[in-house]
Amino acid sequence: MNPKILILAATSAEIKPFLDHFTLAPNKFIEHAEFDVLISGVGAWATAFSLAKYIQKHYMLILNVGIAGSFDRNLQLGSVCVISQDCFADFGAESPTEFLTAEKLGLGINHYSTTIPQNFIPFLNNLPKVSGITVQKAHGKTESISFIQSYFPAQTESMEGAAVFFSAQELNIPALQVRSISNFVEPRNKANWDIPLALQNLNKWLINFITDINEIKMTN
């Protein structure tokens, strides 16, 4: 049997239209003939633990999908993006004058990159490639936004992405992260968010991606 894709989302709500399309009931771990689905829970630690617990076989790809906030105003709300680079942005230490990354301290790695198999690249050509940070708190204050951007000038933020790349590297499985922009990273104002649009566009892309991949597998 050919290896499958593992689709990972923090919450089932983020991929409900996808689950409905394939007539799948929400659950922590869902097996399908062509792919599996893992709902990890929110945050880096829940993500890393879930991947370690539930991966009992080899996958051709771990596909992390979800929503993200954007620092980049050139990315419209609802834009679906490939997060090609990600990092643990609050992994390190503070000194009186600066933030010291784990890499600078010699304690670990902050930065990770996607590892997309060549045969998947044609399916991603129409998506913008952006950089991201993974955080334990979503930024919503001018001072903290300016601070984090001074050290990690990324375009997006989420709470899971770098943990997926880290876990995939440890498991020796390629990983891809695709997210849809639900809000701009600014002083917190939920009236400016558009989560429904972000989820609509994300799930449309995900359904098409999995359908196209399965059709190619059937013809080979």
DSSP per-residue codes, 27-80: -SEEE-SSEEEEE--SSHHHHHHHHHHH--S-EEEEEEEEEEEES-TTSPTT-E
Residue ranges in the chain modelled with pLDDT below 70: 1-2, 216-220
What pLDDT is stored for residue 217 in this prediction? Answer: 61
202/196 Cα distance (integer angstroms): 10
Class of domain 4-219: alpha beta
71/186 Cα distance (integer angstroms): 8
**Three-class DSSP labels, 107-136:** CCCCEEECCCCHHHHHHHCCCCEEEEEECC
Nearest CA-CA partner of 175 in 38, 53, 46, 74: 38
Going from N- to C-terminal start, the domains of the chain cover 4-219
Nearest CA-CA partner of 40 in 163, 196, 133, 207: 163
Q: Which phi and psi (to 5°) does residue 68 adopt?
A: -150, 155
156/67 Cα distance (integer angstroms): 10
Write out the H or E segment, with its range, that includes residue 4: strand 4-9
Asked whether the CA dihedral 181, 185, 191, 192 is positive or negative, the reply is negative
DSSP 3-state assignment of 214? helix
